[in-house]
Chain A
């Protein structure tokens, strides 16, 4: 149910990002799509992907905003310091409250919750035949990951070959 709402929200935000005239609004709409995708990863029980998506999304948003804005944004602080201070304190309190809730859920030190790792360590050698467990994990259990890494390397090589090629022939008019 939440997933469907998130997907509809992402589609809606993507359409806005294409259709809106203002460039900054478009960038912010793209950011909304990314953060919704991050929430979707979290709902689908993939917190590592969600963290990666969050970091990448924030970085992309900052870079895109810097690229789209020509002038610096004016920062108005005169006459509004009461509101600014109160809102800052409120957000700090909110953050600390949620951080406290999250920290209470963490397992105690020395009691890992990663049940999958135990399975790898116990059955890794028997199921793959590889004595080196690192290789067994990256090339058998998690080979999808390695395929992705190989694709990243392949893309970077193609990119460098394209950017650094010799200057092309100039067409004679």
Chain B
């Protein structure tokens, strides 16, 4: 993340972004992990994670963001999230039926409770976040390919 490069926005935006983008990513991960305890969950947290990468791309230009996560990696991780969610659903067959909560429920209000629900939240968070980022990246790269022509 160099501030002196020509791409991206001004120095002020870059400095503020460097300070805040990690916090935004961390907040998204927090929302995903605490989905079964507080408002939020996989969908909302995933969008916040995606927005942190979009923020990075808007401030520093697309090359910095692509160097963090390329389009192929984003789409692969998105597919991985989908497979994770489906395999959690299939794991329910160990207990007898589809989507059965087979892990122990734990005590309420603890982070490690509610069986498979946090795992489902994490997989949906990966899926939504990187899926949205992949869509954004595809739009940006299409614009670039048009200009090159």
Residues on A close to B: CB < 8 A? 125, 128-132, 134-136, 138-140, 143-144, 146-147, 150-151, 153-154, 156-157, 160-161, 164-167
Contact = CB atoms under 8 A, between A and B. Distances in A.
A130 B120 contact: no
B101 A140 contact: yes
B78 A157 contact: yes
A133 to B, nearest CB: 10
Nearest to B35: A135
Contacts of B40: 132
Secondary structure at the A interface, as helix, strand, loop or mixed, is helix
B99 to A, nearest CB: 4
Contacts, number: 102
Interface of B: 35-42, 75, 78-79, 82, 85-86, 89, 98-99, 101, 105-106, 108-109, 113-117, 120-121, 124, 127-128, 131, 134-135, 138-139, 141-142, 145, 149
Given A130-B36, A134-B41, A136-B36, A157 B135 contact: yes
B105 A129 contact: yes
B135 A160 contact: yes
Contact of A128 (B39, B115, B135, B149): B115
Contacts of A164: 138-139, 141-142
